[in-house]
Structure 1
């Protein structure tokens, strides 16, 4: 059973009676965390890779955000300076087209590289699709961010009725900006080695014997 640790963030004013404005949620299993308004509530997840789904008080807009995590080991080891390029390859338009296949009548309105989610580069998309809500079908518009980091694709998706989407834009971006996940890479450059493939072979013998070298291609 997933263990949830919930902390409350307080904003203090001159009045000593502080009021909780945001909930900071973290998951001990994945290390994911993010914050959302304390008026929102946690609801049941809809997909196996959903980590958390939250919604504001009921309303016609049917706004919601969900945080997802799925294994994706396409790019595991590379120099840090290639991070932006890896993001462009891993979270491309094709990625978003495949992702949106799980929705009904999806339409990509726009996507871009060079965004951010948690600790790494991210791709972002704005899309429209049809959704089933209690009693009717609804055309929704959503924004999603995806970041491939240390073998896991982290995805934050927020949506609302297409006519109300703009009014939820700022809360959605606030939630996206709060996402964090466990640090795996150091900020300094990694993966820079001497061109050893062009150098001599190095042979290791049994303990106590000297190592010998031979020119590349030699025996």
Structure 2
């Protein structure tokens, strides 16, 4: 099997891991959504997670060009990456670690376990660099094509407003790269039923460029 890999700086690795954790399901019932999907291209790494009620996605640039591939990483591995991405850098202030994620596509003829997964934190680029390594397996299965819903919200007609659960808004906090980076909230009109509100689209921008987005389903319970 072909091994794929991509590399991120420590800050971006932690950021994408935190975004992946922020909306992935914790019910341990459906493995493909108790994980985050990483879509990798030569110039971009996009993470996407969902628990059916929310979608969170964000992008970062790989440290070097990477082959196009996808890898589905579970919450345990994401938690390790979040905690350890900058562990070596914290010990020496001038060190800026890099994080490499290497994965093997799942064997369609194998059992439910996915392909091999290795996450390596390297102190610096060099033969004498210290490393931390996590090994596991990717999640096997078909991640739902939720980026289609994000695109629909981008294209949807804007409505006057709506209501959102505060808990869902609070859980979108990891998408902001800085506490002062408040998102633009677009309330949309439903595309199939005009009597019901559509989802809200949160967009986080830096220098005019969208780097993260969230889809939150409207809150329909209760009274005005």
TM-score normalised by length of structure 2: 0.30
If each structure's helix is expressed as a fraction of its own residues, which one has the higher value?
2
- Larger radius of gyration, structure 1 or 2? 1
TM-score normalised by length of structure 1: 0.31
If each structure's strand is expressed as a fraction of its own residues, which one has the higher value?
1
Higher relative contact order (CA 8 A, sep 6+): 2
